[in-house]
């Protein structure tokens, strides 16, 4: 019974699509690469959406195709945008310009061009992870990546996120809102000052909640309890915004199906 119902529904949908396509109300899948592509994209969209009912082979086909295609896509982008101009172009500039990229800025060697053998060697070492015996050598490359990440992040987070945030908090106590326009002077208002003070107290309360070296009892405990409320408000706001973002993505897909494929809007 259930199977028959599905067959009838599918039949009706196919019949509607055939009639609409035949009458020229929507693009035909045989109208060149664009027509075929739009139909293929629409069917992939529906295949992925079918997961909402239950897991099924159509969804798994689309999912696996997406994984393979995206991995290759990233590799190709990395090859043409970074490996060719920034590695091959530095080590063998004339050859690279001749073979791949005629517009390469400079076809002569940099004074320290040989330094680029370092990332090439590390890159090859990184690929040794694919082989069981080469695992330990790939750690050299991993060590370089970790060292760079640690060095860059240490400074960035210390200046922008730690000192920057404390400085902004201190400035806000004065109720001064920076001017957006160049040459404009900071504005002052009692309302701004009030809300800035509320914000400063809320920041302190939330920080107290994260301070675990002292037991959360007495007045400290009460203050850190306010911190929990502040964090709950933060998470509530985050949830509201998350809902908003996800719906926008769905609206985009529905627009594609209704406008680009079915041409009903």
Q: Is 117 helix (H, G, I), strand (E, B) or coil?
A: helix
The rounded Cα 2 to chain-centroid distance in angstroms is 41
Q: Is 10 helix (H, G, I), strand (E, B) or coil?
A: helix
**β strands within the chain, DSSP E:** 176-177, 187-188
Residue 9 CA to residue 17 CA, distance in Å, equals 12
Residue 123 CA to residue 112 CA, distance in Å, equals 19
Cβ proximity to another protein: between 79 and 188 the closer is 79
CB of 11 to another protein, least distance (A): 21
Cβ proximity to another protein: between 17 and 83 the closer is 83
Count of C-beta atoms within a 10 Å radius of residue 224: 21
CB of 131 to another protein, least distance (A): 10
Residue 144 CA to residue 138 CA, distance in Å, equals 10
Cβ proximity to another protein: between 21 and 144 the closer is 144
Cβ proximity to another protein: between 21 and 29 the closer is 29
CB of 202 to another protein, least distance (A): 3
CB of 26 to another protein, least distance (A): 15
The number of helix segments (H) and strand segments (E) in the chain equals 10, 2
Cβ proximity to another protein: between 11 and 186 the closer is 186
Count of C-beta atoms within a 10 Å radius of residue 93: 20
CB of 20 to another protein, least distance (A): 15
């Amino acid at each position: 019974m259930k199977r028959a119902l599905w067959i009838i529904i599918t039949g009706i949908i196919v019949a509607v699509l055939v009639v609409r396509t035949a009458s020229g109300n929507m693009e035909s899948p045989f109208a060149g690469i664009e027509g075929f592509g739009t139909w293929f994209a629409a069917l992939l969209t529906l295949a992925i959406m079918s997961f909402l009912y239950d897991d099924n082979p159509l969804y798994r086909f689309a999912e696996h195709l997406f994984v393979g295609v995206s991995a290759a896509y990233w590799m190709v982008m990395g090859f043409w945008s970074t490996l060719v101009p920034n590695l091959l172009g530095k080590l063998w500039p004339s050859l690279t310009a001749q073979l791949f990229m005629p517009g390469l800025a400079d076809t002569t060697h940099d004074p320290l061009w040989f330094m680029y053998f370092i990332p090439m060697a590390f890159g090859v070492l990184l690929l040794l992870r694919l082989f069981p015996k080469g695992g330990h050598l790939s750690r050299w490359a991993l060590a370089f990546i970790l060292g760079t990440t640690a060095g860059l992040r240490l400074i960035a987070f210390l200046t922008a996120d730690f000192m920057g945030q404390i400085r902004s908090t201190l400035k806000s106590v004065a109720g001064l809102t920076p001017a957006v326009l160049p040459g404009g002077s900071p504005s002052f208002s009692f309302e701004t000052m009030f809300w800035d003070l509320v914000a400063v107290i809320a920041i302190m309360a939330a920080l107290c909640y994260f301070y675990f070296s002292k037991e959360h009892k007495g007045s400290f405990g009460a203050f850190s309890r306010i911190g929990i409320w502040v964090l709950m408000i933060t998470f509530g706001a985050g949830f509201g915004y998350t809902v908003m973002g996800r719906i926008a993505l769905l609206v985009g897909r529905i627009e594609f199906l209704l406008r680009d494929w079915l041409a009903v809007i």
